[in-house]
Chain A
């Protein structure tokens, strides 16, 4: 079955850039997502990218997709303490509309 892998922890200093990485196995993935979860809350969609795109930028967020290597990354520029959260990568299989989630990367921002 499909699998999505992420590192569990990342720590950065306030003002630096954060890069969260994700790898997936399903070569037929159509969309890839990044969700953010703050403590004790549900998940909120940050951004998503269609599989035929290489990059998507949205304000401080940059998503890079290497489809050949099945590697997805999320870069957060000028990381703030409010960015401290768990970030989930998810992939959507072709035609399924079902999402497979990674285990989440906990981002800690040091003031």
Chain B
């Protein structure tokens, strides 16, 4: 089945450690996104990539890093510089203008990161 897979579902880390969240899609989508979700805050865009080997900062990129070496993969690293990393992280992809002529996003099931 086509879709987006995020792993791990739950992750615990100690303060000062970097952690990498995985996002893989087999939808052949060009664009991929990372969002952070906090209670009552909605979704905030961290980084996005519209094509392989290229990515742009979103609204809250500080303390995060990404790479886009393959079309299918867009991992997110939460670095020790991120002051409040405990959150629910959502990965999404889209194929703008090709299938539905919209920017419709397809989401993974999310990864919950807790810093101890």
A and B: interacting chains: yes
Taking beta carbons and an 8 Å cutoff, which residues of A are in contact with B?
A: 8, 30-31, 33, 35, 40-45, 48, 88, 92, 96-99, 101-104
Of A44, A45, A88, A98, which is in contact with the most chain B CB atoms at under 10 Å from its CB?
Answer: A98
Question: Is A31's CB under 8 angstroms from B42's CB?
Answer: no
CA distance A40 to B103 in the complex (A): 24
Per CB-CB distance, the 7 closest pairs between chain A and chain B, nearest first, are A97-B103, A97-B96, A103-B42, A42-B107, A101-B43, A43-B107, A42-B109
Chain A residues within 8 Å of B110, by CB: 40-42
Taking beta carbons and an 8 Å cutoff, which residues of B are in contact with A?
A: 4, 6, 31, 40-43, 48, 90, 92, 94, 96-97, 102-110, 112
A101-B42, A104-B42 given as contacts; is B102 within 8 A of A42 (CB)?
no
A97-B94, A103-B42 given as contacts; is B105 within 8 A of A43 (CB)?
yes
Pick the contact of B31 from A31, A48, A97 — CB < 8 Å? A97
Q: Which residue of A lies closest to B109 (CB)?
A: A42
- Give the Cβ gap from B50 to chain A, nearest Cβ, in Å: 8
- Give the Cβ gap from B36 to chain A, nearest Cβ, in Å: 12
Chain A residues within 8 Å of B41, by CB: 103
CA distance A42 to B4 in the complex (A): 10
A42-B110, A97-B94 given as contacts; is B104 within 8 A of A48 (CB)?
yes
Question: Is B105's CB under 8 angstroms from A99's CB?
Answer: yes
Pick the contact of A33 from B31, B42, B104 — CB < 8 Å? B104
- Give the Cβ gap from A11 to chain B, nearest Cβ, in Å: 16
